[in-house]
Amino acid sequence: MIFTGLDNNASRVYIEKESAKLPNVTIISGGNETVDGQAQLWVRRKRKDVTPRITEMSPEILAEANEPLPSTDHCLEESVDDPQTAQVNKAVALAMELLFLTQVVGKNGDPPDRNEIRVDIQKAWMGAFFRDKIQ
């Protein structure tokens, strides 16, 4: 099981590509902007995807797939240019935890009925649903 809370898409794509080589993996990915964000779940069992991959739910992250992986300095610079709030970070962390609990306290190995939770602290809203592949 892999939890990611990355601020860049090149790293997200890299982790997904490497994880696709594994027969079994669960990735819970969290990301956010200033007031909203999401947690997404990708489950792979016996070399088959049980849920869509993160890049299939959010194909826009592929646009930066060939960018170089960032350094620590890059991430620190990004935090100044694109600040985030502790409140939305906490909301996304809670959403990630809830997706984790669906796997731990799941229904006897049945596929999850939710693979994404979106949050918006400005609207005081959180919603969970199953996201199919985006074509």
Ranges of each domain in the chain: 2-129
pLDDT in tens, 3-39: 999 878 889 999 999 999 999 999 999 999 899 999 9
pLDDT of residue 112: 85
Both structure tokens of 25: 């993996």
Third-level CATH fold of 2-129: Rossmann fold (3.40.50)
Has residue 129 got a pLDDT over 70?
A: yes
**What average pLDDT does range 54-81 have in this prediction?**
74
Q: Hey, what's the torsion of the CAs at 44, 110, 27, 55, to 10 degrees?
A: 70
What one-character-per-residue DSSP string does 54-120 give? HHHH-GGGGGGTTSPPPPHHHHHHHHHHS---HHHHHHHHHHHHHHHHHHHS-STTPPPS--EEEEE
pLDDT in tens, 70-122: 665 555 565 556 567 889 999 999 999 999 998 887 666 677 889 999 999 99
Both structure tokens of 2: 């892999």
pLDDT of residue 135: 46
